[in-house]
Amino acid sequence: MKILITGANGFLGYYLVEQLLAKKYSVIATGKGDCRLPFTHDLNFQWLSMDFTDPFSIHDTFVRKDSFGENIKPNVVVHAGAVSKPDECEMDQMKAYLVNVEGTVQLLINSEDLKSFFIFLSTDFVFDGERGMYSEEDSPRPVNYYGRTKLEAEEAVKEYEYGWAIVRTVLVYGKNHSGHNNILKIVKEKLEKGEEYNVVDDQIRTPTYVEDLAKGIVSIIEKKATGIFHLSGKDVLTPYQMAIKTAEHLKLDSSVIKKVTAASFSQPAKRPLKTGFIIDKARNELGYEPVSFEAGLKKTFS
């Protein structure tokens, strides 16, 4: 089975590629620019530079020859690439729409030609956050432009003629091999420097350990499971609670962590206050069982 991944240089991409290669799948990792993944020694791994907002770039990638002289023609496309920072999307809506919506549509068009199974990575930010703990059946209503672009892309995926799955997730954390920041890395750096750090305590999430998210996607691939799946952690926490637990785990002084509300920040993009997911469907259909936040912390800083 040939599996093509967009955004493979990213946080999730590292773990997804790692797990798929461990299962001996043929992985075509793609992204703009050079490969930053350490798997180039694996014969089942191939890196291709691809701009998924450019239909010609996608077409040329999908039909080009692989290292064995065969056409790429992926059986599965995992679309993890996106502009995922809410404030960036709010401030540059044209770019956000081009990447998150039009890029998804271009990938769908090319995937349809090959009848590829299509998996799209989405977000809890498609919801308004008024009540939290959402199931797959709940109606989305985004409160920022990032959420709007991801929801519009979801709607395009639902029109796909062949097999598809939409994976929504929440506040992903873990050991970061790609150089991007996540909340736990920022907390550790701030605490080690003794710098005061304001963290919101009125936003509720079910933070997701990155390896769990990757395992859930691999399960979707192997089961060819279709539809919408909520993949997140099982612990309901605020970012402030996450920061305090991180300080306790690292045995660092938590007194510099200051509890604030979302209203304390002046951010271009509004954040939904209460998200978090009910993950019963993923448990029942995928055998998905995330680790506890405490176990995720240990793995992150091991």
Sequence ranges of the domains in the chain:
2-173+208-233+276-290
Q: Whole-angstrom Cα distance, residue 77 to residue 106?
A: 12
Predicted confidence at residue 176, as pLDDT, reads: 84
Predicted confidence at residue 64, as pLDDT, reads: 86
pLDDT tens digits along 34-43? 999 999 999 9
Helices and strands, counts by H and E, the chain? 11, 11
CATH superfamily of 2-173+208-233+276-290: NAD(P)-binding Rossmann-like Domain (3.40.50.720)
Residues of the chain with pLDDT under 50: none
Predicted confidence at residue 67, as pLDDT, reads: 67
Q: Are residues 121 and 232 in contact, defined by beta-carbon separation less than 8 angstroms?
A: no
Q: Are residues 4 and 44 in contact, defined by beta-carbon separation less than 8 angstroms?
A: no
Q: Are residues 90 and 144 in contact, defined by beta-carbon separation less than 8 angstroms?
A: yes
| Contacts (Cβ under 8 Å, ≥6 apart) of 144 | 86, 89, 90, 125, 269, 270, 271
Predicted confidence at residue 182, as pLDDT, reads: 81
pLDDT tens digits along 221-241? 999 999 999 999 999 999 999
Q: For 98-138, give the DSSP string.
A: IIIIIHHHHHHHHHHHHT-EEEEEEEGGGS--SS--B-TTS
